[in-house]
Structure 1
């Protein structure tokens, strides 16, 4: 069964690459899914007749088929091995990094706490990464003893669960979820933004130690060592859909297990999503902007990271203002409502799936607890 991301990518391909009208693309999505033609590669490997059956209009069918072949060919060329000398690869996830070094590699941009700057800042993004930013920041206050890698993993689990619920409501996905089939039964869970997230305990993972012989970020044991008894273990958010596909148990008995074998939401993918998702709104008409020199990839990357720092700062100020008077449970209960009040406005229904719009950070600041007047002196 195609995932929500697969359907979103298919809609993007049809409407942008194949130039199919959005209404027609939406109508064809379900038929393509039923025919097992969800990606450009799958469409390119099929026949024109298969595509014509779905679109009926021969001109549109040829348009989609040829676009799929073009996109597929371009991807194949980009995947071909390069003859140029490659740079030394960065340490892969699980290779030679101590827990402390791994956590450092996941660092996010520093939060900007300048209220004057935040009050006028406006970002351009879609809803999913905003949920992710809310959840990551919320967990700093509700699960402060968890390392950043765990907070990123748990926050990504919230985003995925929310996306699946939305996809089902829009009719983009059907069938029972892994959670509904009971794949999360028996797993410990934590509550994040009103959702129960199944977790895996990472016994033996000491992210506060500067050096730890033989340990990497992957360390996980069937039983805790004596040194960890009484200490809250780090957690992974469990990907139940991946667990169902692997058709295996989530418990791990060996001392060191590669995380590539574990059905979890990885911290790196969540961090990468945050870093690339917050753009600046266009300040000029499209025609004028197109005549100007486009910013370099490095400048664009730096701008998005700067914007993420602004957003994290606004969220920090919001949660800080309430953390002093609310319990962790109440803070979690309110977080989703705050997100709903500031999320970008998009079209209703399938047309708004993945849509982007403005997020005013001043609106986030307005959700802070009102300043209390000083008590009168006697």
Structure 2
């Protein structure tokens, strides 16, 4: 049986040495243990089947190789403060033009066929399901935010929630970075009941998505009449990044905990690209087609990726239908409040405590559709 100590050691390696986002590390640590992968074995093994990301797999292998050279087998030595100090400028998204970045981050198209959605059962763990719930929710509660911001903010929700659960089951201890004051002075938004510290992205201009089809014509008329860039955006409409306070704390930060931090180049964020990659690799269809593919001698990596994209599209379609059915009758605050309870009702069942950490289970998309106010509404907005 997996001990809390073993999980903590591997989790520290992934998040600190390999510099993998905490939420990704938490989601994959159990799979690594199930595959009997330690830092010594990782140095010789391929991780692409687990992470489905060649670049990320190589990053972890390189970190494991460094560790095996520095340490005796089984030992775990944290880096010295001087080695841990680093700049966080590289954690901010690469400097693409806004339209290019948003296009690059596009998620698989949400399925529009309700019969296909309702018959689909996904196999996943809880963290990426929270991420999907939050990403789609933000289209309705914070429509002024571009996809890049929604991904970052949703990943922040996942990490805050994951750390809270890790503390509850004994995998983490001590105060959070938020409780110690590392985010003091930074603005807060509430998403699915979690308070998230954010960084404003002043000057980031993008083409807003229109969630409600009936409002599209009115928006177009408004844009035709208004002079572009006549007025600066209202502060509440400014795109946001979700701040990674735990990374800030581990680095010892650019300033004292009770001092406001405002330098974009020195603050770690939850990157939209990492969140997108996490979504793309986290969902499998539990269906006869999956069973049939398992009988084949070899499934190519491209096939796996295509299947996961299709599974994600089904989930996104189910969530779109759920939120749209309530968006006309609930205000944004109430929609946000209910989203967490909806997630709890459909999340996969896992074992209690450490044994269930990172555990996977089935998610029936028919149950998500069953939460709609109006099940008869079956088509997504164009």
Relative to the length of structure 1, the TM-score reads 0.70
- Correspondence for 1:351 among 355, 364, 374: 355
Structure 1 position 323 matched with structure 2 position 327: yes
SS at structure 2 position matched to 1:17 = coil
State the alpha-carbon separation in 2 of the partners of residues 335 and 147 from structure 1.
Answer: 20
Provide Cα deviations, 1:291-341, integer angstroms capped at 9, x if missing partner. 522321111111111111110000000000011100100000000000011
RMSD over aligned CA atoms reads 3.0
Report the 3-state secondary structure (helix = DSSP H, G, I; strand = E; otherwise coil) of the residue aligned with 2:241.
Answer: strand
Equivalent residue number for residue 135 of structure 2: 136
The answer (yes or no) to whether the contact 1:13–1:40 under 8 Å persists in 2 is no
The 5-angstrom pairing of residues 1-378 of structure 1 reads: 2=12, 12-17=31-36, 42=67, 45-47=70-72, 93-95=93-95, 97-208=96-207, 227-230=231-234, 232-244=237-249, 245-249=251-255, 251-252=261-262, 261-281=266-286, 283=288, 292-370=296-374
CA contact (8 A) 1:141 1:319 kept: yes
Distance 1:343 1:107 in 2: 25
Secondary structure at the counterpart of residue 272 of structure 1: helix
Matched residues in 2 for 1:202 and 1:113: separation? 33
Kept after mapping to 1: 8 A contact 2:186/2:261: no
Shift of 1:229: 4.2
Note if contact 1:147-1:207 (Cα within 8 Å) is conserved in structure 2: yes
Answer yes or no: is the 8 Å Cα contact 1:314–1:365 preserved in 2.
yes
CA contact (8 A) 1:279 1:303 kept: yes
Aligned length: 292
Which has the higher mean CA deviation after the structures are superposed, 9-18 or 164-173? 9-18
Deviations 1:87-110 (A, max 9, x none): xxxxx9424x21111111111111
1:116-139 C-alpha deviation (Å, 9 max, x unpaired):
111101111111000000000000
**Alpha-carbon distance in 2 for matches of 1:45, 1:268:** 31
Q: State the distance in 1 between where 2:72 and 2:121 align.
A: 46
Contact 1:203 1:228 in 2 (8 A): no
* Superposed CA offset, 1:176-230 (max 9, x none): 1101101122211111000111111111111239xxxxxxxxxxxxxxx984243
Cα separation, 2, equivalents of 1:111 and 1:40: 40
Question: Structure 1 residue 290: deviation in Å?
Answer: 5.8
Question: Relative to 1, partners in 2 of residues 1:107 and 1:12: Cα closer, same or farther, differing over 3 Å?
Answer: closer
- 1:66 is aligned to none
Residue aligned with 1:302, SS: helix
The TM-score normalised by the length of structure 2 is: 0.69
User: How big is the shift at 1:42?
Assistant: 3.9
Unaligned runs of 5+ in 2: 1-7, 16-21, 39-62, 77-91, 209-228, 377-382
Q: Per-residue CA shift, 1:68-91, capped at 9, x if unaligned?
A: xxxxxxxxxxxxxxxxxxxxxxxx
Q: Relative to structure 1, is the Cα distance of residues 226 and 177 closer, same or farther in structure 2, using a 3 angstrom cutoff?
A: farther
Worse-matched range after superposition: 274-283 or 348-357: 274-283
User: Which residue does the alignment assign to 2:380?
Assistant: none
Using the TM superposition, give the Cα deviation of residue 370 of structure 1 relative to its aligned residue in structure 2, in angstroms. 4.1
2:234 counterpart SS class: coil
Residue by residue over 1:229-264, the C-alpha shift from the partner in whole angstroms, topping out at 9 and shown as x without a partner, is 4361111111111222251256446xxx65xx4311
Q: 1:113·1:317 contact (CA, 8 Å) conserved in 2? A: no
* Residues in 2 aligned to 1:192 and 1:323: alpha-carbon distance in whole angstroms: 16
The Cα of 1:13 is off from its aligned counterpart by: 4.2
